Each structure stands twice: as C-alpha cells, then as structure tokens.
Amino acid sequence: MATASGTPETNLDKSLQSHASLHRFLFFTAACFIGIVLLPLDLKELTFALFGVGTIGSLLVRARHIPRPARRPVTLIAIAGIGSVSGGIVRGVHSDISGVEFPTPSPADPLYLIAYLLFITAILLIVRLRVSRIPFDAKLDALVGTLAAGLVQSAPLSSSPTSRRIRSHRPSCGRTWCSAR
C-alpha cells in the first residue's frame, strides 16, 4: 500500500497511525470521563451514551485491521455493545413515557438478551481460537461471565437497599432523549 505522497507504506507508518488512533481514542475517553464527572445529570446521560456509541464505532473501525480469525469475535462484541447501548436508550425513553423509573418488562429487554447471547458466542469463539474442542468448563465460564455482566447491569432494577442506593446515583438515560425531542 502506498502513502498519500506515493511512497510505499512502511511498518513504521502503520505503527505511527496506530499510535495516533490510540491517542485520539484516549483523548475522547478522557473528555467523556470529565464530562460524566462534571456535567449536570441530563448532559451526563448524553455523554455516557455518546461514549458508548464512540467506543463501539472505534471498535468496528479497528476490527477491519484485525486478522480474519479474531475479527469475528471482535465484531460480535461490537454488535453486542450496540444492542446494550440501544437497550439503555430504549429503556430510558420507555421509562420517561411510562413514568416508571425502571419499567419491567420493557421493549429494551430483547436487545439486552441478544447482546448477552452475542457476548457468550464471542467468548466461546475466542476460546475456540485457542483450542480445537471447547471443553465444558470454558462454556460454563462464558455463561458465568455473561451472567455476571448482566447482574451488574440489572442491579438497579432490584428492590434491595443496595440497589436503591445505586439507583439514586445512576442516571436513567431517559430524560435526555425525551427532552432532546
């Protein structure tokens, strides 16, 4: 491949481009983190959603440069992230429309379910890249890892005292989207 000036691209050029991409992503992450910490609640929610979308976009762009065998799990993780972020947005809008802080069931539930199934599949594909036959304990690890992520994400839906404390500090993601209309 050639550079813009017509000279052949070297490994150094690729490395410098990769470092520049990493620095841009780290700057974006730091700006979002500062926004989440310092901005008012409605803007925190929007910043959090933009961070999710930006991270997924960056992952999809970078996935094109990953060798083919590893590209599939990375792409599945990105698609699962899209489902998870979309689920958060849908749940937030549903919360604002219904007037219930954490509506259950929600139209967002299928998006979360699809995301969990894609995460399990990606974990199993990663294991499959390392071993020819996936042992039962690796399948169990994939299931436990996905369930743990699901429990962390759904903790605010519980009515336990700890969940109520988490819920009081965690943005709902809904008010921003409805007020932006």
How many other CB atoms are found less than 10 A from the CB of residue 103?
19
Over residues 12-46, the pLDDT tens digits come to 566 666 777 778 888 988 988 898 888 887 788 78
* 3-state SS assignment for residue 100: coil
Least confident of 54-58, 69-73, 142-146, 160-164: 160-164
Q: pTM of the prediction?
A: 0.62
Over residues 90-127, the pLDDT tens digits come to 888 888 888 887 777 888 889 988 988 898 888 888 88
State the Cα–Cα distance between residues 34 and 29, nearest whole angstrom.
9
Question: Residue holding tokens 């996905």?
Answer: 146
Cβ neighbours of residue 3 closer than 8 Å, sequence gap 6 or more: 9, 13
pLDDT, residue 178, reads 38
